Amino acid sequence: MSPPDARAIPAFVLGGTGYVAGELLRLIAGHPRFRFAGIASDSRPGTAIDAAFPHLGPAYRGGVFTSVDSLLDDLSACESAALFCAAPHGAAAALVARALLARTRALHIVDLSADHRFRTAAAYEAVYGAQAAGDEQLARFTCAVPEHVAVVPDTHIAHPGCFATAMLLALVPLLTHGVIDSDVYVSGVTGSTGSGRTPVAGTHHPDRHGDYYAYKALAHRHAPEVRAVAAGLTGVDCRLHFVPHSGPFARGIEITLQARLRQPMSGADVSALYAEFYRTSPFVGVSAREPHIKEVAGSNYARLCATTADGSIAVQSVIDNLTKGAAGGAVQWMNRLFALPDETGLTAPAAGWT
Domain ranges in the chain? 9-139, 163-321
Angle formed by the axes of helices 162-176 and 222-234, nearest 10°: 30
Q: If you write DSSP's letter for every residue of 286-319 in order, what string do you get?
A: E-SSPP-GGGTTTSS-EEEEEEEETTEEEEEEEE
pLDDT of residue 48: 96
What is the pTM assigned to this prediction?
Answer: 0.95
How many angstroms separate the CA atoms of 275 and 2, rounded? 43
CB of 33 within 8 A of CB of 351? Answer: no
- 182 CB-near residues (< 8 Å, 6+ apart): 236, 237, 238, 239
141 contacts 203 by C-beta, under 8 angstroms? no
Tell me the CATH number for domain 163-321.
3.30.360.10
Confidence at residue 106, expressed as pLDDT on a 0 to 100 scale: 96
For residues 223 and 164, what is the distance between their CA atoms, to the nearest angstrom? Answer: 8
Q: What is the largest CA-CA distance in the chain?
A: 65
Question: Domain spanning 9-139 has what CATH number?
Answer: 3.40.50.720
- Give CA–CA dist 147/283, Å, rounded: 9
User: Reduced to 3 states, what is the DSSP secondary structure of residue 340?
Assistant: coil
pLDDT at site 208 = 78
What's the confidence (pLDDT) of residue 2? 41
Catalytic residues: 162
DSSP class of 325: I
pLDDT for res 197 = 57
pLDDT tens by residue, the chain, 354 residues: 344 566 899 999 998 789 999 999 999 999 999 999 999 998 888 899 999 999 999 999 999 999 999 999 999 999 999 999 999 999 999 999 999 999 999 999 999 999 999 999 999 999 999 988 999 999 999 999 999 999 999 999 999 999 999 999 999 999 999 999 999 999 999 998 765 656 666 666 677 788 999 999 999 999 999 999 999 999 999 999 999 999 999 899 999 999 999 999 999 999 999 999 999 999 999 999 999 999 999 999 999 999 999 999 999 999 999 999 999 999 999 999 999 999 999 999 999 887
CA atoms in the 13 A half-sphere facing the CB of 294: 3
Query: Which residues have CB under 8 Å from 337's CB, separation 6+?
Result: 82, 108, 110, 152, 157
Q: In what order do the strands lie in the sheet with 180-190?
A: 213-214, 239-246, 180-190, 253-261, 312-319, 302-309, 284-286
Sign of CA dihedral 336, 339, 341, 344: negative
